[in-house]
């Protein structure tokens, strides 16, 4: 069985200068850079939104943090972020990108949001990642990135549902924590569903 490091959404808009800045998110970059050389397979996910994306408060003339219901699904409203081609969409310059061999895009269509790289919010396949991984017998995923309580959480839950073995490297992840305790709840759920939670030191010393 093969394994991979999956780096979730390490894009400028989620870093401290970005429009949807995740607190302390720059701290994960050195951790992830240290993990990359340990893996033969290094993949990324990338939030890739059109300008009028369903998750943007600006599209609805509403405030950030409000919700709308779209196609029966509650949609949280965010600031404009990760617009394809713009600065906020780029990976952090500090991320060591040389070993990334494959990237998977999500949130590309205007009318449906997508936290998980496996399924969108309407439960339709979000990307070709599942086919890609299974074809290569990559069944164990080490997951890091942003944000713990949204895209990392949903990606982890779907990976478990699709029968991957999932290891979360906690010091390689940071949460938004819109509500106090969101990060702990996210880790609790991941663990309950079968993910293993570790610190990077455990991997660096193995
Ligand atoms: C994310 C909110 C909106 C994430 C993406 O990467 O966790 N969060 N879009
Ligand atoms: Zn997004």
Spatial CB neighbours of 161, under 8 Å, sequence gap ≥ 6: 193
Could you read off the pLDDT of 123-140 as tens digits, one per residue? 999 999 999 999 999 999
CB 164 within 8 A of CB 141: yes
pTM, two decimals, is 0.98
For each of the domains in the chain, give its residue range(s) and CATH number, in order of start: 7-50+89-204 (3.40.50.850)
Percent of the chain with pLDDT over 90: 98
Supply the DSSP string of 132-191, one letter for each residue: HHHHTTEEEEEEEEE-IIIIIHHHHHHHHHTT-EEEEEEEEEE---SSTTHHHHHHHHHH
Res. 151 pLDDT band, cuts 50 70 90: very high
| Ligand 1 contact via 78 beta carbon (within 6 Å) | yes
Structure-block tokens of residue 21 = 């800045």
Ion ligand 2, residue ranges at CB < 5 A: 47
Strand ranges across the sheet with 42-47: 100-106, 42-47, 2-8, 138-146, 165-174, 196-198
157 lines ligand 1 (CB under 6 A): no
Residue 1: per-residue pLDDT: 77
Average pLDDT in the 37-66 region? 97
């Amino acid at each position: 069985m093969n394994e991979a490091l999956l780096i979730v959404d390490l894009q400028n808009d989620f870093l401290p200068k970005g429009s949807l800045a995740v607190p302390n998110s720059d701290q994960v970059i050195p951790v992830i850079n240290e993990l990359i050389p340990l893996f033969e397979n290094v993949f990324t996910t990338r939030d890739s939104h059109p300008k009028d994306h369903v998750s943007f408060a600006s599209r609805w003339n509403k405030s950030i943090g409000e919700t709308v219901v779209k196609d029966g699904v509650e949609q949280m409203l965010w600031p404009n972020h990760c617009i394809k081609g713009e600065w906020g969409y780029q990976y952090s310059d500090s991320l060591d990108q040389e070993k990334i061999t494959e990237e998977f895009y999500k949130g590309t269509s205007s009318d449906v949001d997508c936290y998980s790289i496996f399924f969108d919010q309407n439960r339709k396949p979000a990307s070709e990642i599942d086919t890609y991984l299974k074809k290569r017998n990559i069944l164990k995923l080490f997951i890091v990135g942003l944000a713990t309580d949204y895209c990392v959480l949903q990606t982890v839950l779907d990976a478990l549902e699709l029968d991957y073995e999932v290891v979360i490297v906690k010091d390689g992840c940071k949460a938004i924590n819109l509500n106090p305790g969101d990060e702990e709840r996210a880790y609790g759920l991941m663990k309950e569903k079968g993910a293993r939670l570790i610190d990077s030191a455990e991997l660096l010393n193995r």
